[in-house]
Chain A
């Protein structure tokens, strides 16, 4: 998985998040295809290290780096999308 865009929209990032969850092989409470923007990480079933693994997959795919303090505040898919967009803008 290697994306190459500094201007991905939310839908594209959501697809990448689903792909990252699959690649991380972390157990989830819902099928990965049903992961929606409004879902919390708790609803998906991502615990602390699950979130770290998914974040790492996104970082590798997009060539970005999430600051630890920001990653520690991610509690939903929406938060994750926002942090990806922010880091893509910084890197653009």
Chain B
């Protein structure tokens, strides 16, 4: 589905706003803006290590996220350039988490490299086929990630851990900005094609999974560690419902669309695997 010239222009404007804000207010340096000297070894804990290691693992798929993302967005300046900027910012997250794990002694260099090897031994693939569906996914995934990092920031602050508080402050601020951009583009998509955008959103909502599922080793066990995930209630309150409000829709409308999709799928012959692959690649 090609985007119209008008839509491409609006997305470009949205990206300019995003980029301008990033340049003016959000640039940070993992080496100079993080108070590494405030690390207190007495505050080290395996809980903190598991959290940071898990987040680092998810962020390590930046090469897959960006290469797949570029395939979908390369013809749309605003989205492709956002993808580049997004990849840069996410790469800093992986870097700062890696540095934290080894600088603080939570993991040795060898332990970290063994973990990284496990992570990069697997490949992240697009969970959805189209650019617009991935925009829906981005809007939801970024808010979930933001909420997780924000909760970690608050926890670090409550525990008096200035180092972790600073790290989570910077990464959560980036994620909030990413969420804002995705939501903005989703609104533009809905203005361009409301039925199609809502159909995509309904589909994505029903199949949503965080990117680490099935990739990060022992992901389910890690979720049991306090703060690695968010509750379904938080996801509803701060993720799903605000997204629906932004688009001027409701859960009732989304469910009606979803039921129609399911009814349609029941009457349609199953999609052949080779066809599905071709669509993804295209």
Contact = CB atoms under 8 A, between A and B. Distances in A.
Nearest to B255: A56
Interface string B230-252: 01110111011100000000011
Nearest to A69: B237
A47 interface: yes
Interface stretch (A7-15, A30-38, A71-79, A81-89): A71-79
B25 to A, nearest CB: 30
Given A52-B255, A56-B251, A42 B232 contact: yes
Given A48-B232, A51-B232, A73-B233, A68 B255 contact: no
B236 A72 contact: yes
B205 interface: yes
Contacts, number: 39
Interface in B174-233: 205-206, 208, 231-233
Contact of A48 (B240, B252, B255): B240
Contact of A72 (B241, B252, B255): B241
Contacts of A72: 233, 236-237, 241
A46 B237 CA distance: 16
Contact of A56 (B233, B236, B239, B252): B252
A2 B205 CA distance: 27
Interface residues of B, number: 15
Interface string A35-57: 00000011000111101110010
A73 B237 contact: yes
Contacts of B240: 48-49, 52
Given A68-B241, A72-B241, A75-B231, A48 B251 contact: no
* Binding site secondary structure of chain A: helix
A21 to B, nearest CB: 15
Contacts of B237: 69, 72-73
Interface residues of A, number: 17
Contact of A47 (B232, B251, B252, B255): B232
B230 to A, nearest CB: 10
A52 B208 CA distance: 14
Given A53-B255, A56-B255, A46 B232 contact: yes
A33 B144 CA distance: 32
A51 B251 CA distance: 11
Nearest to B251: A52
Nearest to A41: B232
Contacts of A73: 233, 237
A2 B251 CA distance: 20
A15 to B, nearest CB: 22
Contact of B208 (A49, A71, A75): A49
Contacts of A75: 231-233
6 contacts: A42-B232, A48-B233, A49-B208, A68-B251, A69-B237, A73-B233
Given A48-B240, A56-B255, A69-B237, 8 more contacts: A47-B232, A48-B233, A48-B239, A51-B232, A51-B236, A53-B255, A56-B251, A72-B233
